[in-house]
Structure 1
Amino acid sequence: MKKINLLLAALIACCITAHAQQTATFKANHRVIETKQFNKQVNDMLTDIGIPGLSLAIINNDQVVFSNVYGSKTQLAGDQADPETIFEACSLSKSFLVFVAMQLADQQKLDLDKPLYEYLEYPLLQHDSRYKLITARMILSHSSGIENYKRENNAEVLELVAAPGTDFVYSSAGYVYLGNVIEVILKKSADTYLKELVYEPLQLHRTFSKYEKDGSYPQNYATGYTVFGKEIKKWKNDSVLVSGGIHTTAKDYATLITSIFNRKYLSDDRVKDITHGDIGLGDKGKLLYWGAGFGLQYAQGDTIIFQNGVQDGFRSWVYYSKKNKSGVAFFTNSSLGMSILKKLNELSVNLNIDPLLDDSDFEHYPDPALALLRIYRTGPVDNLFNKVAHTSNKELSFASLNNLALIIASDNKTVAKRLMEENRKRHPEKSEAYLELGKLDFRLKDYKSALANFTQCKLLNPGTTEVEGQIKECLKRLN
């Protein structure tokens, strides 16, 4: 028996080794990437920032040509992530429903432009007759007018915050409605139709809609961490949430993306639906749109589809070039995960995604603010201020130091105030320096200091209407 167990252990080890083996190079958008050097650069970046784990996949010529997992599932010693480790897909979960909806449209079971209430009346929206205008296309392009979550405005009512088909309003709640409609069309649960139409035909063996057996299945999952490295209790949804509850790997997800665009599963008409900009994204509307299922960037004769995802302790991204048939998908178990987007792109497919880089909750690596945050996390605080003092304005921009202070404010307002004061000292000509410091002073109930900062902000930039109300509030509390 002992020999048998040893043999089994050896076989398992061989399988894991074989699974982890990678070629010496891989191609990414007409570039040849040396795997060893690439892996080193990615590992160094994660260490520099303090991101525990990363699941990464790279697409070239509509094939997943590279995938790897870096770092750890948790911050416990030896808890290494591996190719089977699943991450929370966050809003990238919606892509699985997009794939299902487009298949049904090809089969003429779902009309993208037919009002959804004709398939399924929705009690949560019946209080507003405008909901009868909502179509599947509007849901997929986030132009239905449905708020993102019911709790955002009136916690008791799911609201339409814009007329259907008129404005971009990101809506996870809308995807839930569409998921319910598809259950009615197919007479199957979301769990069943996702397995039958997506996971099984695409052989996505490490993709799960929910946790089962009292949360004990699936195993081998990543745990999320805040920007300060604090562990977040693992969310294990025991029911299907099509808008954000799928758990997967980057390799599985990248396989889904290639299946959407390789014409093996969807028709040309469906790909056109996905890549047609139905609604503009605010003041970036000339460059960024949302089509039936994804965000769209039009630039230099190319269409780049994209989607990002945000949940507590997890960040995810996908972007894919229709012209070059290449892209990147990644999942991290850190709230700092967005900061790797720019560098990962430079190291791999090197697509023009500049308009997407603003959509980040922190600066992009290797911005010095990321290193400063890591110093703050490991302490002591004096080390942080010593480093700031020896970092020039050229290295550390106003925006970077301000963002650092805003993030630290959620953990230590006193430290944040010192950073903002340093930023004001460095940039006395910037009205924003006084505005942000005034806001923090107000939160600290130092109304006298807040009033002084708001007043100086107004002097430097008389057009800043935001401070008018702030000044009035300060005077009210001081009188």
Structure 2
Amino acid sequence: MNKNIFYNSLLVLFCLVNFKGYSQLQTLSGNGISITDLDAFITKQKDSLGLPGLSFALINNGKVVYHRSLGISNMETKKKVDAKSIFEAASLSKTVFAYFVLRLVDKKVLDLDTPLYRYLPYQDIEKDERYKLITARMVLSHTTGFPNWRYSDKRDESRYKYGELYLKFTPGTEFAYSGEGYVYLTKVIAQLSNLTVQTLDPLFQKEVAEPLHMKRAWFSSAKYITKHKVKGHANGKVVSKAWPIAFPEQDSTWFDAAGGLHTEAIAFSDFLIGLMNGEGLSKSLNDEMFKEQVQLDKSSPHYIYNGDTGWGLGIAIKPTDFGIIYEHGGNNGDFQSGFKINKSNRNGYVLFTNCDQGRTFNQNIGALLLKK
């Protein structure tokens, strides 16, 4: 046989073997799923749910093995989503911020169990002395007693005025999901770092984004976001808001720990991979992040709709037949997102959508990728 033909045949065989290897992906349980099947599922879901745009990544054994940037960034202009497109992470921000806080705890900037008022008294709630019990651990495990948001949560109007911060229960005694706690802790972190909520993002870049190779991730406005952010959509129409806010005085300069992270699937995957690998934190604090800090009541929406039985620090805990899944969802209305990871095999996924159907997509693809 001619040598060139022989070597070319070997090359073709080598490529075929490798293509076959890479075409087989893993679900979070470790079962196989083909690229073809995953592509078909995502395409069908995208079309049936009417998702304008999507940024999605699948992680196997601590590496991104599948990535898709699909659809359009704006239903009016029809501009395409690409790998550079930036989405609102919504409440996925909380997991990243929790890691940021734990980095600073490792550096002795603050302590998880020191009452936050000792670092920074909080005028917004000072009339209720119980707030002096609140710690960083309570904020990150949603046991502060704060409402989610003072302007949108239902309140006892006979006791509390519109826009007034209040406590639903004594801090540390129950679980109640709260973005307000993250606002207070952000102000504490800024104070302890001799910064403000407008100048805190560079410290996040230094402590988290750069070490974990998150090339596209910001909590405050940046030129890259302005150039590459996709438009949000609700009810099939473009939403005009430029930045997510929870307070009338808030703008894009704020470091919004609860829902202001702007990023995309590859950058967030780099964060999740670092998290699963235990990078950047002492073992004790890494263990604390994934440890059940509070058990959820079976009446909790997180238990009813997601199957979450407990909460760690910035992350929900979901038991399955093949082990523990750690997860978080995000909902800014016109932007919805989600991630799930399995630390035992370092598999996971993350998704970002620019519409109000992302939660349903997260439920559906989660069901596919959590099959035993």
TM-score, normalised to structure 1, is: 0.64
Instruction: Considering Cα pairs closer than 8 Å and 6+ residues apart, tell me whether 1 or 2 has the greater RCO.
Output: 2
Q: Which residue of 2 aligns with 1:203?
A: 213
Unaligned runs of 5+ residues in structure 2 are: 1-21, 156-160, 244-250
Q: Which residue of 2 aligns with 1:339?
A: 360
Q: Which amino acid aligns with 1:278?
A: Q
Q: CA deviation at 1:145?
A: 0.6
Q: Which residue of 2 aligns with 1:42?
A: 42
Match status 1:273 vs 2:281? no
Separation of aligned partners in 2, 1:109 and 1:241: 20
TM-score, normalised to structure 2, is: 0.81
- Identity of paired residues, percent? 30
Match status 1:234 vs 2:249? no
Q: CA deviation at 1:111?
A: 1.2
What SS does the aligned partner of 1:233 have?
coil
Task: Map Cα deviations across residues 186-234 of structure 1 (whole Å, 9 max, x no partner).
Answer: 2233212111112222222221223357xx85312221111x3022113
Separation of aligned partners in 1, 2:38 and 2:91: 27
Q: Which amino acid aligns with 2:186?
A: G
Contact kept, 8 Å, 1:275 with 1:303, in 2: the verdict is: no
Q: Which residue of 1 aligns with 2:346?
A: 325
Q: Which residue of 1 aligns with 2:86?
A: 86
Q: 2:194 aligns with which of 187, 190, 195?
A: 187
Task: Map Cα deviations across residues 302-339 of structure 1 (whole Å, 9 max, x no partner).
Answer: 22211111112111111112223211211111111111
Q: Which residue of 1 aligns with 2:58?
A: 58
Q: Which amino acid aligns with 1:238?
A: S
Separation of aligned partners in 2, 1:289 and 1:33: 29
Bigger Rg, structure 1 or 2: 1
Contact kept, 8 Å, 2:86 with 2:225, in 1: the verdict is: no
What SS does the aligned partner of 1:33 have?
strand
Separation of aligned partners in 1, 2:76 and 2:363: 28
- Whichever structure has more strand as a proportion of its residues is 2
Q: CA deviation at 1:265?
A: 1.2
Cα 1:77–1:190, aligned 2, differ >3 Å: closer, same or farther? closer
Q: CA deviation at 1:130?
A: 0.7
Contact kept, 8 Å, 1:96 with 1:194, in 2: the verdict is: no
Unaligned runs of 5+ residues in structure 1 are: 1-22, 353-479
Match status 1:291 vs 2:312? yes
What SS does the aligned partner of 1:218 have?
helix
Contact kept, 8 Å, 1:143 with 1:164, in 2: the verdict is: yes
Q: CA deviation at 1:75?
A: 1.4
Provide the aligned C-alpha RMSD in A.
Answer: 2.3
Separation of aligned partners in 2, 1:302 and 1:270: 21
Cα 1:84–1:118, aligned 2, differ >3 Å: closer, same or farther? same
Alignment of 1:368-383 (within 5 A): none
Q: Which residue of 2 aligns with 1:434?
A: none
Task: Map Cα deviations across residues 370-393 of structure 1 (whole Å, 9 max, x no partner).
Answer: xxxxxxxxxxxxxxxxxxxxxxxx
Q: CA deviation at 1:251?
A: 1.6
What SS does the aligned partner of 2:298 have?
helix
Task: Map Cα deviations across residues 83-112 of structure 1 (whole Å, 9 max, x no partner).
Answer: 111111111111221111111222232211
Q: 2:332 aligns with which of 306, 311, 315?
A: 311
Separation of aligned partners in 1, 2:225 and 2:47: 30
Alignment of 1:88-237 (within 5 A): 88-151=88-151, 152=153, 153=155, 154-188=161-195, 189-212=199-222, 217-226=225-234, 228-236=235-243, 237=251
Q: CA deviation at 1:266?
A: 1.6
Separation of aligned partners in 2, 1:211 and 1:238: 5
Q: Which amino acid aligns with 1:203?
A: H
Q: Which residue of 1 aligns with 2:75?
A: 75
Match status 1:246 vs 2:230? no
Count of aligned pairs: 327
Task: Map Cα deviations across residues 127-184 of structure 1 (whole Å, 9 max, x no partner).
Answer: 1111111110000000011111121333242111111001111110100111111112
What SS does the aligned partner of 1:150 have?
coil
Contact kept, 8 Å, 1:100 with 1:198, in 2: the verdict is: yes
Q: CA deviation at 1:284?
A: 5.6
Separation of aligned partners in 2, 1:344 and 1:191: 32
Q: CA deviation at 1:351?
A: 4.9
- Whichever structure has more helix as a proportion of its residues is 1
Contact kept, 8 Å, 1:87 with 1:221, in 2: the verdict is: yes
Alignment of 1:382-421 (within 5 A): none
Q: 2:270 aligns with which of 228, 252, 255?
A: 255
